[in-house]
Structure 1
Amino acid sequence: MKSHLPGHPMQIYLIRHGEVEEKYHKVFGGSRIDMALSPRGLKMGEAAAEWLKDTKLDALYASPMLRVQQTLAPLAAQRGLEPQILTGLREMDFGDWTGNRWDEVQTKFGMSAFDWLEIIESNGLPNGENIESLKARVRESMLQIIHAHPHGKVAVYCHGGIIRVILALLLEVPLAHLAHFNIEYGSISLVELLPDRKHAVEIELLNFQPPIMQAS
């Protein structure tokens, strides 16, 4: 990945969609279930937009899935920005795990859902997305974004799994290593590309959840 990065600095804000509707909590939805946000998830979208209100952004990119589109709506309205939809940013396909709760995966498939990144990386998901095709589509999307905005700042709204793939690609580490870091609903992470430094990719912010404003 690094060998294909351009020779200019930029900042990338990675925003995970907000909390999904309650019936899908702790359920593997992936790309096959186009779920909506919960009321709290909608507030998370508003909180992210509020936190980013003074940040100059050159563009807004997003997954096509409903939960992402609902999360970015407040920021898009605030800025008058039209989100550029990239299908390569859709959530990963969890195959036969889709629709199952985390605690059901052990019973039905004899696997621990907590090892999901390791299982995905070893292509262990029954009928799930191939790891190489997953990385390839995410890599293509990110290189498109990066090359389009020299010296710029962009917001990328997508999914917890995809943010982990992005970070693994940029840092050139195995996807399973990202299990050490949470990417919560509605969180913002900031990556800086600094080609003049030995470590060209730096994580400036990780998994920050902007506070939700309480109604007075």
Structure 2
Amino acid sequence: TVVEKGITQGYEIQRRLRVWKPRRAAVMGAGTIGLLATLILRLRGLDVTTFALTPKPYLNSDLIEAIGARYVSTQETAIGDGAVKYGPFDLVFEATGYSPVVFDSMRALGKNGVLVLSSVTGGDRTIEVPADKINLEFVLGNKVIVGTVNANREYFENGVRDLSQAELQYPGWLKRLLTHPVKGLENYSELFDQLLNAKGAIKIFCEVAEL
């Protein structure tokens, strides 16, 4: 629902331009939110490039490429270089949890683009940025930044619709997100242990009863 809200509102904001027809999108981060953002943007027909730290191949990069998106490791290709090669991007969805990527995302955004922020960063990290250049590009380029953090019934309904469409378009893909099952509520201690320590987890979940 957080992803649905961010992407829907990004589209609504840029419709003010009347000629906005997004073709290329970037997703920053390949965790659960990044994977779902990649999926929803692909369902909308966009050419999607997903940037994340870990070099491929691994499950998350496989999932991204399985739906026709492009995976780029930032250990191998900087975001700026990726934007030159695959952008400029009409929409960027940031979901890394690492605030400096926000400013890289600003630079990767094309004219008339919209940047959707979903990361919640509670630290005190500081960096140096080319503030004048970023400001100039946003003002002259009609660019927008919007945050997404919660959702209402509309976005739940959109999510159900898109998940249904995803199962039709990419059968079995959603099931691959469910990486770490724990059987029964009585095994809650195992559930918490998985949440804290599981490696390579995308979605840890409790099977309350047999289906």
Q: What TM-score do the two structures reach when normalised by structure 1?
A: 0.34
Q: Which has the higher strand share?
A: 2
Question: Of the two, which has the highest radius of gyration?
Answer: 2
Q: What TM-score do the two structures reach when normalised by structure 2?
A: 0.35
Q: Which structure would you say has the larger RCO, counting Cα contacts within 8 Å and 6 or more residues apart?
A: 1
